[in-house]
Amino acid sequence: MSHPANATAFLKDQSRAKWHDETLWIVRQKRDQTIHAIPEWEKLRDLASQIKEHTLSKLDFYLEELEKNASANGIKVHWAENAEEHNEIVGRILEEKNCKAIVKSKSILTEECHLNPYLESKGIEVVDTDLGERIIQFLKQPPSHIVMPAIHLKKRDISDIFHEKLHTEKGNEDPVYLTHAARLHLRSKFLEAKVAITGVNFAVAETGEFVVCTNEGNADMGVHLADTHIACMGIEKLIPRRKDLGVFLRLLARSATGQSITNYNSHFRSPAPGKELHLILVNNGRTKQLAREKFRNSLKCIRCGACMNTCPIYRRSGGFSYGSTVPGPIGSILSPGIDLKKYSTLPFASTLCGSCSDVCPVKINIHEQLYEWRQEITKAHGTSAKGLSMQLANGIFKSPLAYKLSGKMMRAALKNLPESIIYNPLNVWGKSRNLPETPAESFKDWYKKNRK
């Protein structure tokens, strides 16, 4: 799995890559507009960060508190050490219910656990009900973004697949027409399903409830029509008090898409009469990340996707280039913790510009952690081709004379040498990058001349 190789493939279609970049930047701008309407935005980020850090520092206590209160509410709580166990728990419940078809709203955790293929191998039909997720499910693709799963697709792609799967008019690319076709198709699935699966945005220890946020209302359509609701959450999705939701609901949608709030924010506390409510708490490597002090606070993430929308690399390389369930900057600090070898290129898929940390609603120091992972990876894998040129640069910067001479040489060389030499395959840094205009003289020379 190599990010540069995958990014190169994405960039082959220049016009699509440009469109992808611009689309995400618009989402980032929408975020900027809505947050500027809130004078206390930075205070809210501080609060959210502190609440999450506090929760993580007492995670064992809060998990037991959640279990105690949720059980008292009639929720059946399950614990899963890893993805396999999570899938088995879901599979067991479905077997008990003799259930052969389920509806599922968006859950990045179930993506992480590869729940869909597991259930399909048991002959169970899984219908993802978020429109974007349904589209990529038809195309047999993973989500390329955690909030906008089909952000990489054009209207034409969606029109084509809907024509094939839902028999919509060939060539009709009208989003309203296509959305309404999906509405009809999914309505029949909602009305038939006996079991509905959702993710969890927040679980509240104090009240033993959990909250699911959507704009489409698909999570609610699923669970209120089904007899059994299974909710799956990573153990880091926990907050202490109900009133903490006020902080997080103000931050989440504004950071994600620039809306003031998602249109549906559903609080599940007890099953409806005669129905069942299950909550699965999943570890799958989270306690390992918690043990890494430098990377601990990556677990504060509320999965808003703001870091992806702002990231110059994500925007120009696409979500698939990361090869991980969670892409973008946050994915690049979470994934190496899961498999350092497989994801060794991700921390380098960054300019370290810090924009991700600037927009993060829970103030994760993402760019610093990217830098930290680079150190870990270099320790584990030795230097890369890029590392050698960096060592050379290090030698030049160490000696004032070497720096002066090499500056002079480079200014002459860049003016006169053919591009093929400057951009040779050995120079990894030169890939997709142009050098700036070379100045006629160095600042030092200019200063000597102009000093009064």
Q: At what angle do helices 41-57 and 59-72 cross, to 10 degrees?
A: 90
Smallest distance from another protein to CB 429, Å = 34
Q: CB nearer to another protein: give 232 or 349.
A: 232
Residue 85 interacting with another protein (CB under 8 A): yes
Reading phi first (left if > 0) and then psi (alpha if -120 to 50, else beta), residue 172 is in: beta
Q: CB nearer to another protein: give 60 or 339.
A: 60
Residue 298 interacting with another protein (CB under 8 A): no
Q: CB nearer to another protein: give 175 or 395.
A: 175
CA distance to 236, 303, 449, per residue, from 202 (Å): 9, 11, 63
Smallest distance from another protein to CB 441, Å = 48
Q: How far apart are CA 267 and CA 263, in angstroms?
A: 13
- Please select the residue that binds another protein; options are 257, 310, 344, 369, rule is CB under 8 A: 257
Reading phi first (left if > 0) and then psi (alpha if -120 to 50, else beta), residue 6 is in: alpha
How many residues of this chain interact with another protein, rule: CB under 8 A? 90
Helix (H, G, I), strand (E, B) or coil at 207: coil
- Please select the residue that binds another protein; options are 5, 9, 26, 385, rule is CB under 8 A: 26
Q: How far apart are CA 204 and CA 239, in angstroms?
A: 5
Both structure tokens of 278? 């299950």
- Please select the residue that binds another protein; options are 2, 8, 141, 259, rule is CB under 8 A: 259
- Please select the residue that binds another protein; options are 17, 113, 153, 301, rule is CB under 8 A: 153
- Please select the residue that binds another protein; options are 45, 104, 250, 300, rule is CB under 8 A: 250
Residue 68 interacting with another protein (CB under 8 A): no
Q: How far apart are CA 16 and CA 113, in angstroms?
A: 30
Q: Which of residues 401-440 bind another protein (CB under 8 A)?
A: none
Q: How far apart are CA 204 and CA 201, in angstroms?
A: 10
Helix (H, G, I), strand (E, B) or coil at 306: helix
Q: 35 CB contacts (<8 Å, ≥6 apart)?
A: 41, 254, 255
Residue 2 interacting with another protein (CB under 8 A): no
Q: How far apart are CA 55 and CA 236, in angstroms?
A: 8
Q: Which of residues 355-384 bind another protein (CB under 8 A)?
A: none
Site string for another protein, 263-292 (x = CB under 8 A): xxxxxxxxxx--------x-x---x--xx-
Q: CB nearer to another protein: give 260 or 432.
A: 260
Q: CB–CB of 25/258 below 8 Å?
A: no
Both structure tokens of 336? 């190496």
Q: Which of residues 156-175 bind another protein (CB under 8 A)?
A: 158, 175
Both structure tokens of 270? 């007890």
Residue 203 interacting with another protein (CB under 8 A): no
Residue 316 interacting with another protein (CB under 8 A): no
Q: CB nearer to another protein: give 107 or 344.
A: 107
